[in-house]
Structure 1
Amino acid sequence: MASSRSLALALLFGLLSCYASVVPSLASSHGFLQCLSAAIPKPLLHTQSSPSFTSVLVSSIRNPRLFTPSTVRPLCIVTAINASHVQAAVVCGRRHDVRIRVRSGGHDYEGLSFRSERPEVFAVVDLANLRSVRVNGKAATATVESGATVGELYYAISKVSDRLAFPAGLCPTIGLGGHLSGGGFGMLLRKYGVAADHVLDATLVDANGKLMDKQAMGRDVFWALRGGGGESFGIVLSWKVKLVAIPPKLTMFRVPRSVDEGAVDMLTKWQEIAPALPEDLFIRVVVSKQVAEFQSMYLGTCDTLLPLMRGRFPELRLNRAHCREMTWIQSVPYIYLDSTATVEDILNRTTSMDTFNKATSDFVHRAIARDVWVKIFAWLVKPDAGIMIMDPYGGQIGSLPESATPFPHRAGVLYNIQYMNFWSADTDGSAQTRWLKDFYAFMAPYVSKNPREAYVNYRDLDLGRNVVVGNVTSYTAAKVWGDKYYKGNFKRLAMAKGKVDPHDYFRNEQSIPPLH
Structure 2
Amino acid sequence: MAITYSFNFKSYIFPLLLVLLSTHSSATSTSIIDRFTQCLNNRADPSFPLSGQLYTPDNSSFPSVLQAYIRNLRFNESTTPKPILIITALHPSHIQAAVVCAKTHRLLMKTRSGGHDYEGLSYVTNSNQPFFVVDMFNLRSINVSIEDETAWVQAGATLGEVYYRIAEKSNSHAFPAGVCPTVGVGGHFSGGGYGNLMGKYGLSVDNIVDAQLIDVNGKLLNRKSMGEDLFWAITGGGGVSFGVVVAYKIKLVRVPTTVTVFNVQRTSEQNLSTIAHRWIQVADKLDNDLFLRMTFNVINNTNGEKTIRGLFPTLYLGNSTALVALLNKDFPELGVEISDCIEMSWIESVLFYTNFPIGTPTTALLSRTPQRLNPFKIKSDYVKNTISKQGFESIFERMKELENQMLAFNPYGGRMSEISEFAKPFPHRSGNIAKIQYEVNWDELGVEAANRYLNFTRVMYDYMTPFVSKNPREAFLNYRDLDIGVNSHGKNAYGEGMVYGHKYFKETNYKRLTMVKTRVDPSNFFRNEQSIPTLSSSWK
* Distance (Å, rounded) in 1 between the aligned partners of 2:320 and 2:211: 39
1:351 to partner: Cα distance: 2.2
Task: Report if the CA contact (8 A) 1:167-1:187 is conserved.
Answer: yes
2:476 maps to 455
* Alignment of 1:333 onto 2:333: no
- Residue of structure 1 equivalent to 2:405: 386
Name the CA distance, whole Å, in 2 between partners of 1:127 and 1:197: 24
Q: CA deviation at 1:432?
A: 1.9
- SS across alignment from 1:421: strand
Q: Is the radius of gyration larger for structure 1 or structure 2?
A: 2
1:499 aligned partner: 519
Counterpart for residue 30 of structure 1:
34
What is the CA distance between 1:372 and its match in structure 2? Answer: 1.1
- Residue 474 of structure 1: which of 493, 510, 516 is its match? 493
Letter of the 2:158 partner, please give it.
T
1:302 paired with 2:320, answer: yes
User: Is residue 160–residue 182 contact of structure 2 (8 Å, CA) maintained in 1?
Assistant: yes
Is the Cα contact below 8 Å between 1:479 and 1:490 reproduced in 2? yes
Deviation at 1:175, TM superposition (A): 0.3
Distance in 2 of aligned mates of 1:252 and 1:15: 61
Alpha-carbon distance in structure 1 between the residues aligned to 2:227 and 2:362: 39
Counterpart in 1 of 2:91? 82
Amino acid at match of 2:132: A
Contact kept in structure 2, 1:201 and 1:214, CA below 8 Å = yes
Aligned counterpart for 1:357 among listed residues 376, 379, 384: 376
- SS of the residue 1:355 aligns to: coil
Contact 2:33 2:85 in 1 (8 A): no
Measure the CA separation in 2 of the matches of 1:108 and 1:415. 22
CA 1:352 to 1:166, structure 2 compared with 1: closer, same or farther past 3 Å?
closer
Q: Secondary structure at the match of 1:429?
A: helix
TM-score (norm 1): 0.94
Deviations along 1:268-322, whole A, 9 cap, x unmatched?
A: 0001111101101110011111111011111100111111111111111100111
2:24 and 2:453 mapped to 1: Cα distance? 35
Bigger Cα displacement from structure 2, 182-191 vs 330-339: 330-339
1:94 maps to 103
Matched to 2:357, the amino acid is: S
Please list, as runs of the form range in 1=range in 2, the aligned pairs for 1:406-485 lying within 5 A after superposition. 406-425=425-444, 428-469=449-490, 474-485=493-504
- CA positional deviation for 1:96: 1.2
- Which secondary structure state, in structure 2, belongs to the residue aligned with residue 439 of structure 1? helix
Q: Partners of 2:272 and 2:23 in 1: how far apart?
A: 54
Give the distance between the partners of 2:74 and 2:365, measured in 1 at CA.
24
Q: Which residue of 1 aligns with 2:311?
A: 293
Whether contact under 8 Å (1:37, 1:45) holds in the other structure is no
Q: How far apart are 1:390 and its partner, in Å?
A: 1.0
Aligned partner (choices 8, 17, 37) of residue 25 of structure 2:
17
Are the aligned partners of 1:384 and 1:431 in contact in 2 as well (CA < 8 Å)? no
* C-alpha contact (below 8 Å) 2:111/2:133 kept by paired residues: yes
Corresponding residue pairs, total: 498
Structure 1 residue 436: Cα displacement: 0.8
Question: Residue type of the partner of 1:215?
Answer: K
Contact in 1 for aligned 2:404/2:442 (Cα 8 Å): no
Q: Can you give the 5+ residue segments of structure 1 that lack an aligned partner in the other structure?
A: 1-12
Deviations 1:107-132 (A, max 9, x none): 00000000111111111100000000
1:79-478 aligned at under 5 Å gives the runs 79-289=88-298, 290-340=308-358, 341-351=360-370, 354-425=373-444, 428-469=449-490, 474-478=493-497
Determine if contact 1:360/1:460 at 8 Å carries over to the other structure.
yes
Partner Cα distance (2:127, 2:372) in 1: 24
Instruction: Note the C-alpha offset of 1:433.
Output: 1.5
The SS at the match of 2:364 is helix
Summarize the Cα distance change of 1:352–1:165 in structure 2 as closer, same or farther, 3 Å threshold: closer
Amino acid of the residue matched to residue 530 of structure 2?
Q
Distance 1:103 1:92 in 2: 18
Report the secondary structure of 2:87's partner residue: strand
Q: Which amino acid aligns with 2:528?
A: N
Structure 2: distance between partners of 1:213 and 1:502: 20
One-letter amino acid of the structure 1 residue matched with residue 332 of structure 2: P
Q: Alpha-carbon deviation of 1:224?
A: 0.1
Matched, 1:66 2:87: no
Contact 2:71 2:373 in 1 (8 A): no
Tell me, in whole angstroms, the C-alpha distance in 1 between the residues paired with 2:510 and 2:55: 36
Of 497, 509, 512, the match for 2:529 = 509
Check the 8 A contact 1:166/1:244 in 2, yes or no. yes
Letter of the 1:35 partner, please give it: C
| Amino acid in the other structure paired with 1:418 | Q
Report percent identity of matched pairs: 42
| Structure 1 position 54 matched with structure 2 position 58 | no
Aligned to 1:10: none
Secondary structure at 1:358 match in 2: strand
Task: Measure how far apart 1:29 and its partner are.
Answer: 4.1
What is the root-mean-square deviation of aligned Cα atoms in Å? Answer: 1.7
SS across alignment from 1:203 = strand
Superposed CA deviations along residues 363-390 of structure 1, whole A, max 9, x for unmatched, are: 0000111111001111222241310011
- List alignment gaps of at least 5 residues for structure 2: 1-20, 299-307
Maintained 8 Å contact 1:231/1:506: yes
> 2:374–2:441: 8 Å Cα contact kept in structure 1?
yes
User: What per-residue deviation string (whole Å, max 9, x for no partner) do you get for residues 205-246 of structure 1?
Assistant: 001111111111111110000000131000000010101010
Letter in 2 for 1:47: T
Q: Which amino acid aligns with 1:458?
A: Y
Q: Which amino acid aligns with 1:450?
A: N
Distance 2:371 2:122 in 1: 19
- The one-letter code matched in structure 1 to 2:322 is T
Paired with 2:212 and 2:373, the residues of 1 have a C-alpha distance of: 36
Query: Letter of the aligned partner of 1:41 in structure 2?
Result: L
Contact kept, 8 Å, 2:178 with 2:194, in 1: the verdict is yes
Query: Aligned equivalents of 2:239 and 2:380: distance in 1?
Result: 18
